[in-house]
């Protein structure tokens, strides 16, 4: 913990594989209502140069993180109000360094887990969780077109839940969905993720088959301004 707290010394400090493996093992075994402090440590470890390599080589993706994200899927927070926020922030941080980014985005099953969990919170009641969910989707979408990664190392096309999440965020912003919690930053982030995913993969048919075309049309017609409106207008043209 002291190593991670001393951010000014990260260039000269080490986070070892056994340390991260121990944290990941504990996080996979502790009861979900109490596991968020361990996930928070792993969230910071993803940003440490050595920590990112250690996290990439650990069981975190298919163990503790998947368990936490699965528990949060659908917008749930029955185990702990802090669990969705810290789980989504950890998921977002996985895309910071190349070793973790490769592990997070290389397998279709992991992409589905990340995107599904985030999609359940883009129109939730907690703004911080909405923003974290948008960050997960946006970071994943940019990984799809990351030129620094070897061709074929990122699994695509994106799960359809990404486009449904964007549609849900539009509906919340326009007051036409079951959930009406919204904010401009989340909306811009989620629409930006859908736009980036389309530009990176050209997966136009899956997007057209979702609720996104109708949702962005309603948002554009509502006359809203800002970055979200810019994304919505671009998506409407791409999907027409």
Domain boundaries, the chain: 2-239
Torsion angle of C-alpha atoms 157, 113, 219, 237, degrees rounded to 10: -10
pLDDT for residue 125: 85
List the beta strands (DSSP E) in the chain. none
Q: Stretch 221-230: mean pLDDT, rounded? A: 87
Find how far residue 50's CA is from the centre of its chain: 22
pLDDT for residue 10: 56
**pLDDT class for 209, splitting at 50, 70, 90?**
very high
Kindly report which listed range (10-14, 100-104, 187-191, 230-234) carries the lowest average pLDDT score.
10-14
3-class DSSP assignment, residue 201: helix
3-class DSSP assignment, residue 145: coil
Q: Stretch 214-234: mean pLDDT, rounded? A: 90
User: Residues 6 or more apart from 27 whose CB is under 8 A from it?
Assistant: 35, 38, 39, 42, 60, 63, 64, 65, 68
Handedness of CA 4, 72, 205, 169 (dihedral sign): negative
Tokens of 200: 């990176």
pLDDT at 179 over 70: no
107: left (phi over 0), alpha (psi -120 to 50) or beta: beta
**pLDDT class for 164, splitting at 50, 70, 90?**
very high
**Is the overall model pTM greater than 0.75, yes or no?**
yes
pLDDT for residue 163: 94
Q: Cβ distance 194 to 207 under 8 Å? A: yes
Peptide bond into 157 cis (omega under 30): yes
Q: Stretch 227-232: mean pLDDT, rounded? A: 92
114-134 pLDDT, tens per residue? Answer: 899 999 999 888 889 999 999
Q: Which one of 1.10.357.20, 1.25.10.10, 3.40.50.40, 3.40.50.11440 gives the CATH number of domain 2-239?
A: 1.25.10.10
**pLDDT class for 231, splitting at 50, 70, 90?**
very high
pLDDT for residue 50: 85
The Cα 187–Cα 228 span in angstroms is: 6
End-to-end CA distance of the chain: 51
pLDDT for residue 7: 65
132-156 pLDDT, tens per residue? Answer: 999 999 999 998 887 666 656 666 6
65-111 pLDDT, tens per residue? Answer: 999 988 887 666 666 678 999 999 999 999 988 888 888 877 778 88
């Amino acid at each position: 913990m002291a190593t991670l707290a001393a951010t000014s010394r990260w260039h000269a400090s080490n986070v070892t594989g056994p340390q991260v493996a121990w944290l990941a093992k504990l996080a996979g075994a502790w009861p979900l209502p109490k596991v968020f402090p361990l996930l928070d440590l792993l969230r910071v470890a993803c940003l440490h140069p050595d920590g990112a390599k250690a996290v990439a080589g650990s069981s975190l993706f298919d163990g503790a993180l998947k368990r936490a994200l699965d528990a949060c899927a659908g917008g749930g927070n029955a185990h702990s109000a802090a669990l969705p926020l810290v789980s989504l922030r950890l998921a977002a941080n996985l895309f910071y360094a190349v070793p973790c980014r490769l592990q997070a985005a290389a397998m279709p099953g992991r992409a589905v887990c990340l995107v599904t969990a985030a999609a359940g919170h883009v129109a939730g009641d907690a703004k911080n969780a909405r923003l974290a969910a948008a960050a997960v989707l946006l970071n994943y979408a940019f990984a799809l077109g990351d030129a620094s990664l070897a061709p074929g190392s990122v699994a695509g096309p994106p799960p359809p839940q990404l486009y449904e999440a964007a549609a849900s965020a539009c509906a919340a912003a326009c007051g036409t969905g079951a959930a009406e919690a919204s904010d401009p930053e989340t909306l811009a982030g989620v629409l930006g993720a859908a736009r980036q995913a389309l530009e990176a993969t050209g997966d136009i048919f899956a997007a057209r088959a979702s609720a996104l075309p109708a949702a962005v049309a309603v948002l554009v017609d509502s006359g809203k301004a800002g970055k979200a409106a810019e994304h919505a207008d671009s998506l409407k043209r791409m999907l027409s």
